[in-house]
Structures are given as C-alpha cells and as structure tokens.
Amino acid sequence: MLSGLMSFLRACFRPRSDRYGHTNSDTGGRQDGLLWYKDHGQHINGEFSMAVVQANNLLEDQSQLESGSLSLNDSGPYGTFVGVYDGHGGPETSRYVNDHLFQHLKRFTSEQQSMSVEVIRKAFQATEEGFLSLVIKQWPVKPQIAAVGSCCLAGVICNGTLYIANLGDSRAVLGRVVRATGEVLSIQLSAEHNACIESVRQELQALHPDDPHIVALKHNVWRVKGLIQVSCSPFRSCLSCYFSYLAKNRCGSCHSCLSL
C-alpha cells in the first residue's frame, strides 16, 4: 500500500491511458459485504489502491481514476486525475459529476494546451452549470432531483505538479514517510467547507449581512439556511440554489466559493 501511495504521488509522464471507477455495477474489484476494494491497479506512473464502504442501502457516492492524456489530444499533457464524489439524498448528482467533470477538464486543457488552476476551476464551474440546468429542466416531472447533491474532491498530477480542488466537506490527505524512522506523517491538503466550522459561519455571515438566517442551528447542528451543513459545494447546494431561483432571492452560496 505504501509503495503504491508513493508511486502515485510522483510525477506522471509516460503516455498510457487507463480508467478506473466504482459504481453500483462495477466488478473490477472485490466485494466483502458492504466493502468494495481494489488492492492493486496501474496508473500512468505506478500502482494505486482504492476502497468504498457503502453506508446506505443505495450507494450515493462515486469515484474515478483517469490516467493518460488529460486533454482531448493524444499528445497530452499526460497525468493522473482522481475524483471522489460524496453524494447526498440520492446518486444522481455524484453520477453526473462522475460523467462530466473529467470530460470538461479535458476540453479546457485542450483549449489552453496545458494544465492549470484555471482549467480545473472552469471544469468545476461547467459541471455545476450543467447540473443546475438539468435540475431546472427535470423539476416539473422529477421534483426530487432538487433534493440531491454531492461534494467534489479532485486531484490532478501533471508535469510534476499536484493540484487539489475541493468543494464540500471531503478531505485530501498526503502521507509522507520520515526516512529516519519509517513513520508516515499525514498532511492535510484541502480545507472543508462546513457550517459547523466557526470561521465558515463567520464568512457566510459577512457575505450575507442582510440574511439573519444564512446559518441556523438545527438539531444541534449548524446548517446553511437550516438545510445543509456544506457551505461551498455547488453540487450539494443545488437545492438551496433552485429554491432561491424560484423565489428570485438567491442566497449566493452556490457560486461564492469557486476557488482552489
């Protein structure tokens, strides 16, 4: 496991294309009760392992690993993309992100002819806008679509650089080996966007001074508008966004934090 992790974190250069992911019907790994796992797999520069524990009767989460060209062109740039999508209220949003985020990233990489923070930001925003359009379109016949959402944590390794992007309350952690002792130290690479964090509540209140209910304590848990704990995930905030759209009084929580 350790050697696979260290290989995964090294720069990715060799032109090879592989794709891995986990869905309800995935048979590429092993099943042990509610645990699905894959001990060893190959990505562009070494090995990886992944695991999923199903907490609900219906698996609402998705994950993927894409290795090879990060653009629409076979000429590259080459690297590895990892996405973890923590679904909420149903699987629709996480499946949408799983199907569209990496494709948007490849499109914007092709346009810019390189990987960058701006490429990842544009891919996130395009995915958000696409899902919001889907919510509005399906609302008359499938109103429950507005009650589903997903956090989105993505990592990209390209040309020796590791990019981390997070919207929601998932977390990216780097394991670093101390050579002298062999101990593995954990280093947090991302920040959670959760209303239970005081600094997040203060930021929301500062952004929305005219809304005394932008954060509310409900059942001893701080929530945005009394609905969700996540303050910054556009995919998980579509419920708030759509209801605000209907009321012509959008709170802004869906688009105010599109930053890496």
Percent of all residues in the chain with a pLDDT value above 90, rounded to a whole number: 32
Mark residue 254 as left, alpha or beta (left: phi above 0; alpha: psi -120 to 50; beta: remaining): alpha
Distance CA 136, CA 145 (A): 9
Fold that domain 2-188 belongs to in CATH? Phosphatase 2c; domain 1 (3.60.40)
Chain CA centroid to CA 161, Å: 19
Residue 228 DSSP label: B
Domain with CATH 3.60.40.10 in the chain: 2-188
How large is the greatest C-alpha to C-alpha distance in the chain, in angstroms? 62
Q: How confident is the model at residue 66 (pLDDT cuts 50, 70, 90)?
A: very high
Distance CA 210, CA 256 (A): 16
Any idea what the Cα angle at residue 158 is, between residues 155 and 160, rounded to 5°?
Answer: 110
Q: Tens of pLDDT along 201-256?
A: 888 888 888 888 888 888 888 777 766 666 554 444 443 343 333 333 333 333 32
SS3 at position 56: coil
